[in-house]
Amino acid sequence: MESRYEAIAPTAWGLDVAGVATRLMGAGRAVALTFDACGGPGGHGYDAALLGFLRQEHIPATLFLNARWVDANPGVFRELAADPLFDIANHGTRHLPLSVRGQSAYGIGGTRNVGEVYDEVAGNAAKLFGLLGHRVRLFRSGTAHYDDVATRIVGDLGERVVGFEVNGDGGATFTPLQVTQAMRTVRPGSIVIAHMNHPSHGTAAGMRVALPVLRDAGYRFVQVADYLP
Ligand SMILES: [Zn+2]
């Protein structure tokens, strides 16, 4: 991996670079919900109200889990992994922006080289494989920032990079009202990002209002992995 990519300079950095899927393909009037669990200083919590609501309403979601969050929540992890409503995905080993040159996002320093990109993706992939007994298909980095060399490395490691079109909870900072306002921008094929590790913030209360509104408007909730371009 290092010999293949070490000499290649990235040409783009951000949330939406080459190799990042931000919308669904061929899904019709559908929306895909993704919830991140960041772990570490980003929060070890578990939003039981949010996940309970999804179950009650039979709404599927993709759960991007960081290795540190998994370590802190072994019982909840087993419960979520056993539920076919949820697709478990990779949210990194140390929750770092994914760069081959050490670029940072929101003040968080990114991976510094090809080897650190590999470790950030493959470390948690191996952990999840050991727990699930199958490989996960999708990856999202901490902060969801990438360069266009890093996204190629993720692809070589067998995972697709999933970004987003709708920021549903502003990094788990939104009030319930702000969540419902953000969710009004959903359109057919949107991928929504929000968080499942901040139970005291507005995500769950906002989604409880917003998701039934979308369903009444004719939207289906689908898994990202089934409709990637
Ligand atoms: Zn995160």
**How much distance in Å is there from the Cα of 69 to the middle of ligand 1?**
10
165-195 pLDDT tens trace: 999 999 999 999 999 999 999 999 999 999 9
Question: Higher confidence at residue 62 or residue 41?
Answer: 62
**How much distance in Å is there from the Cα of 2 to the middle of ligand 1?**
26
**How much distance in Å is there from the Cα of 36 to the middle of ligand 1?**
5
Burial level of 3, CB count in 10 A (0-12/13-18/19+)? Answer: exposed
Residue range 67-74: average pLDDT? 98
Q: Are strands 166-167 and 220-222 parallel, antiparallel or unpaired?
A: unpaired
Would you say residue 64 has pLDDT above 90? yes
- Residues 196 and 51 sit within 8 Å (Cβ to Cβ): yes
Residue range 128-157: average pLDDT? 98
Report helix angle 203-216 to 176-183, nearest 10: 30
Q: What does the pLDDT read at residue 43?
A: 86
32-52 pLDDT tens trace: 999 999 998 878 999 999 999
**How much distance in Å is there from the Cα of 215 to the middle of ligand 1?**
27
**How much distance in Å is there from the Cα of 139 to the middle of ligand 1?**
11
Q: What does the pLDDT read at residue 193?
A: 98
**How much distance in Å is there from the Cα of 98 to the middle of ligand 1?**
12
In sequence order, the 6+-apart residues with CB closer than 8 A to the CB of 111 are 96, 97, 98, 99, 100, 102, 117, 119, 120, 150
Instruction: Indicate the pTM of the whole model.
Output: 0.97
Residue range 107-123: average pLDDT? 97
**How much distance in Å is there from the Cα of 148 to the middle of ligand 1?**
19
Q: What does the pLDDT read at residue 87?
A: 98
**How much distance in Å is there from the Cα of 162 to the middle of ligand 1?**
13
**How much distance in Å is there from the Cα of 4 to the middle of ligand 1?**
28
* Largest Cα span, the chain: 52
How large is the C-alpha radius of gyration of the chain? 17
3-40 pLDDT tens trace: 889 899 999 999 999 999 999 999 999 999 999 999 98
